[in-house]
């Protein structure tokens, strides 16, 4: 049985990005039995060359460099990012990283590393924000995602659904995510179970 739980966010989800993100989450959960997630936003400082001469292609280039560097870290096993535009920030990115819960139980140090790498890649013209759980939120990014705990999978769908919002995309559908490897054949077989998905 596929249990669905109604969730009404305060933004309008982009159907294409929603499908891409859901498939990405499914693939990550199928591959890793326990995942930690961290969320960051990446910006350029105002009145710097990166900000004044930016376009989404330049931001995509910087993001790909950042993702490649982060994926070289042992516990980092995946990522998903989208680009948005606002009057205040210009082009900026919302990103999520996946960590293997069997290799680390602490996500915050990796968030700091990603932020420092971003500043380095942008010649100190970039800055970042680490997204942390706050009481009014309906979902908690600090809850580990376990393949055999459907509520934890539903929780992370809700956390990351913000990346799919239609607002601030300005007609742009620019995203990136890692290729998810298949589970090794030598791994312990999993019991069949139903998962929860959003409708």
Higher pLDDT residue, 177 or 136? 177
Supply the pTM of this predicted model. Answer: 0.86
User: Is the pLDDT at 197 greater than 50, yes or no?
Assistant: no
Summarize pLDDT for 69-83 with one digit per residue, the tens: 999 999 999 999 999
The predicted pLDDT at position 38 comes to 95
Question: What's the average model confidence in pLDDT over 144-158?
Answer: 96
Question: What's the average model confidence in pLDDT over 173-186?
Answer: 85
Q: Residue 43 in contact with residue 128, Cβ under 8 Å?
A: yes
Higher pLDDT residue, 5 or 110? 110
- Secondary structure, 3-state, the chain: CCCEECCCCCCCECHHHHHHHHHHHHHHHHHCCEEEEEEEEEEECCCCHHHHCCCHHHHHHHHHHHHHHHCCCCCEEEEEEEEEEECCCEEEEEEEEEEECCCCCCCHHHHHHHHHHHHHHCCCCEEEEEECCCCCCCCCCCCCEECCCHHHHHHHHHHHHHHHECCCCCCCCCEEECCCCCCCCCCCCCCCCCCCEEC
User: Is the pLDDT at 133 greater than 80, yes or no?
Assistant: no
The predicted pLDDT at position 172 comes to 77
Q: Residue 145 in contact with residue 33, Cβ under 8 Å?
A: no
The predicted pLDDT at position 132 comes to 84
Summarize pLDDT for 21-58 with one digit per residue, the tens: 999 999 999 999 999 999 999 999 999 999 988 888 99
User: Is the pLDDT at 164 greater than 90, yes or no?
Assistant: yes
Extract the tokens encoding 116: 């420092």
% the chain with pLDDT above 90: 70
The predicted pLDDT at position 1 comes to 29
Cα 11 from Cα 123, distance rounded (Å)? 34
């Amino acid at each position: 049985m596929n249990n669905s739980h109604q969730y009404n966010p305060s933004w309008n989800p982009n159907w294409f990005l929603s499908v891409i993100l859901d498939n990405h989450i499914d693939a990550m959960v199928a591959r890793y039995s326990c995942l930690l997630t961290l969320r960051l936003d990446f910006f350029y400082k105002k009145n710097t060359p990166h900000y004044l001469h930016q376009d989404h292609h330049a931001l995509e280039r910087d993001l790909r460099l950042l993702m490649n560097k982060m994926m070289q870290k042992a516990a980092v096993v995946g990522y998903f990012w989208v680009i948005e535009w606002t009057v205040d920030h210009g082009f900026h990115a919302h990103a999520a990283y996946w960590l293997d819960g069997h290799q680390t139980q602490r996500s915050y140090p990796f968030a700091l590393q990603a932020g420092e790498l971003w500043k380095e890649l942008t010649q100190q013209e970039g800055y970042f924000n680490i997204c942390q759980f706050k009481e009014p939120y309906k979902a908690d990014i600090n809850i580990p995602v376990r393949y055999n705990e459907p509520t934890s999978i539903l929780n992370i769908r809700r956390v990351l659904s913000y990346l799919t919002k239609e607002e601030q995309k300005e007609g742009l559908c620019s995203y990136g995510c890692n290729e998810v490897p298949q589970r090794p054949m030598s791994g312990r077989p999993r019991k069949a179970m139903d998962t929860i998905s959003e409708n």
